[in-house]
Structure 1
Amino acid sequence: MAYTSEPKLISGNANRPLATSVARRLSMHRGMNVQLCDARVERFNDGEIFVEVYENVRGEDMFIIQPTSNPANDNLMELLIITDTLRRSSAGRITAVIPYFGYARQDRRTKARTPISAKLVANMMVEAGIERILTMDLHATQIQGFFDIPVDNLYASPVFALDIKHHFKDGLEDVMVVSPDVGGVARARELAKRINAPLSIVDKRREKAGEIAEMTVIGDVKGKKCIIVDDLCDTAGTLCKAAENLLDHGAEEVHAYITHGVLSGPAVERVTNSVMKSLVITDTIEASDAVKNCPNIRIVPTAPLFAQGIINTWNGTSVSSLFENETLVPLYEGLYHL
């Protein structure tokens, strides 16, 4: 149903810059000043989270912007407590905008006596009072089925396609999209189709967790500008090794497009010293100073996509229309000249 009042935004502390950018984009779309809801989300001395909303939200269509990135547990609890606050304040509908969905890598039992944490997190969100989820590039798309509420999973590949067409416009015929593992082929194929490029795969074999024993390149990458595409990059070990492997197989240069730049531990140092020409990430996770200052890391904004997704959710129109170039290009026309 379409709500008569304007959508209201509230943010936790996980990624305030993104929430502010979304509010700014909404202001442009609505032709009026859209601000984040006046609230405080803070911690007591013992680490407990406290939330207080300073404005009336009764009957309002509320959107909580809060990725559950590092520290995942703190940010998840913030999301749940904000939700409970809004529910007890008689909000009309509560939608969680979760640019990065933490615990998504724990989507199945990999061995005996292990949890399916993604399902547990889904249960907690629904029980808290969230009625709809808007997220981006879930690590495993079947997580949508863990919820008994609507889940809209946006994709970064349409935006990456615009970025690639802009930055590689003089040599697009030499571009090859590479999946860093067999499991990511569908994601890589989608991007390859959008830019009309061939597809290659790096097949990796592990002897034990965290250690790669062997990498095999499937496809002819000789003389190609290879673009590795994946949903997230954590410590960047696999990514940097895949880049070296591609160059060893004759690739002209290697770039990477990753949706979620987790970039923990030695990741930034590895990327800085790697053979990759560039690593492109989105701002679904707030970038650290080290990431911002890294010369070969570039950040693509997602605020235009999330702002339009919020508007479409609010007024009851199609969210999947954001996957089409006809809808997407106008949102990014100030950034890309195609």
Structure 2
Amino acid sequence: MVDALKRASAKRITVVAPFYGYARQDKKHRGREPISARLMADLFKTAGADRLMCVDLHTSQIQGFFDGPVDHLFALPLLTNYVGSKVDRKNLVIVSPDSGRVRVAERWSELLGGCSIAFIHKTRDPRVPNEATVGKVVGDVKGMTCVVIDDMIDTAGTVTKAVDALIDAGAKDVIIAATHAVLSGPAVDRLKKSRVSEVVVTNTLPIPEENRFDNLTVLSIAPLLGRAIREVFEDGSVTSLFDGHS
């Protein structure tokens, strides 16, 4: 499509890709592995794209792979507004599924009035994709409502193990909140069988009817994208959209 637009003499081409494919392959975990996130950026540029617009990249460094402007939007306000309206914020703990997303958990806490934060210590074998070993919960979650946050749910192995770890540590109930619902392989079955109270995602990816279940909530990302597109093309202010505070 980008190539067709370029050959039709389009003045400017912006690719709106709410979910950036291969985002987790942003570095080499072992020798002789591709950096597919960089390859995707190169393909967009070679085809003729001038600008990218994405939502919740797996790592912010991916913005540097594309030779041109990258509008990195955040679904954080959308997710926090929904979760904040459903729970008692005084008994809320934001849980990072690993130490690497603690800063995101801090932003959640800030938007939800300074609630507590915890994280789960986990290890991952680079030779085994989509699998992680969940260790202990770091932080007090006893009697609390926990919100496990992540950028995506792929096979749901890590998040469902996190739910079990939190419940076993005394959590009252657990909500999973993620931007991208990949839901590949056994994900839906794992989530249905887990002890999670609710799974909250956005529609950055289409979710077929067979992958929907009773406690799945899908929030629309359309207003965020619509506002960003309008502001970018009308030379308006997009700062709040990029820092996740709008």
TM-score normalised according to structure 1 size: 0.69
1:287 and 2:207 are equivalent in the alignment: yes
Shift of 1:111: 1.0
Report SS of the residue matched to 2:123.
strand
Q: Distance in 2 between matches of 1:277 and 1:165?
A: 15
CA RMSD of aligned residues (A): 1.6
Residue in 1 that maps onto 2:119: 201
Q: Is the 8 A contact 1:291 1:297 kept in 2?
A: no
Query: Is 1:318 matched up with 2:237?
Result: yes
AA aligned opposite 1:190: R
For residue 321 of structure 1, report the CA deviation from its aligned partner: 2.4
Task: Compute the displacement of 1:104 (Å).
Answer: 0.6
In structure 2, the CA distance between the partners of 1:248 and 1:314, relative to structure 1 (3 Å rule), is same
5+ residue gaps, structure 2? none
**1: distance between equivalents of 2:21 and 2:77?**
22
1:104 corresponds, among 23, 43, 52, to: 23
- TM-superposed CA distance for 1:211, in Å, is 4.5
Question: What SS does the corresponding residue of 2:165 show, helix, strand or coil?
Answer: helix
Q: Give the Cα separation in 2 of the matches to 1:262 and 1:213.
A: 20
Against the structure 1 CA distance between its residues 103 and 315, is the aligned structure 2 distance closer, same or farther, given a 3 Å change threshold? same
**Scaled by the length of structure 2, what TM-score is found?**
0.94
**Superposition map of 1:82-231 within 5 A:** 82-168=1-87, 171-195=88-112, 196-206=114-124, 209=128, 210-231=130-151
Distance 1:314 1:212 in 2: 42
Question: Could you tell me how far apart the structure 2 residues matched to 1:118 and 1:278 are?
Answer: 31
1:248-300 residue CA offsets vs partner (Å, 9 max, x unmatched):
111000001010000011111111111000000000000011233x0011101
Q: Deviations over 1:65-99 (max 9, x none)?
A: xxxxxxxxxxxxxxxxx011111111111000000
Equivalenced residue count is 243
Q: Distance in 2 between matches of 1:308 and 1:107?
A: 28
| CA separation of 1:123 and 1:226: change in aligned 2, threshold 3 A | same
Q: Distance in 2 between matches of 1:107 and 1:296?
A: 32
Cα distance in 2 between the residues matched to 1:113 and 1:85: 34
* Partner Cα separation in structure 2 for residue 96 and residue 237 of structure 1: 31
The more displaced of 206-215 and 265-274 is: 206-215
Kindly state the Cα deviation for residue 325 of structure 1 after the two structures are TM-superposed.
Answer: 8.8
Match in the other structure for 2:194 = 274
Return the alpha-carbon distance in structure 1 between the equivalents of residues 191 and 9 of structure 2.
47
Within 1, Cα distance between the matches of 2:158 and 2:67? 35
Could you list the structure 1 runs, at least 4 aligned residues long, displaced by more than 6 angstroms after superposition: none
SS of the residue corresponding to residue 13 of structure 2 reads strand
Q: What runs of 5+ residues in structure 1 fail to find an aligned partner?
A: 1-81, 329-338
User: Shift of the alpha carbon at 1:231?
Assistant: 0.1
Partners of 2:90 and 2:131 lie apart in 1 by 35
Tell me which residue corresponds to 1:257.
Answer: 177
Q: Which has the larger radius of gyration?
A: 1
Aligned pair partner of 1:245 in 165, 168, 179: 165
Deviations 1:215-258 (A, max 9, x none): 11100111110000000010111111100100111100000101
Contact 1:271 1:296 in 2 (8 A): no
> CA separation of 1:163/1:214 partners in 2, compared to 1, >3 Å: closer, same or farther?
closer
* CA distance 1:91–1:323, change in 2 (3 Å): closer
Task: Report Cα offsets for 1:33-85 as digits up to 9, x if no partner.
Answer: xxxxxxxxxxxxxxxxxxxxxxxxxxxxxxxxxxxxxxxxxxxxxxxxx0111
Cα distance in 2 for residues equivalent to 1:282 and 1:156:
8
CA contact (8 A) 1:280 1:298 kept: yes
Q: CA deviation at 1:192?
A: 1.5
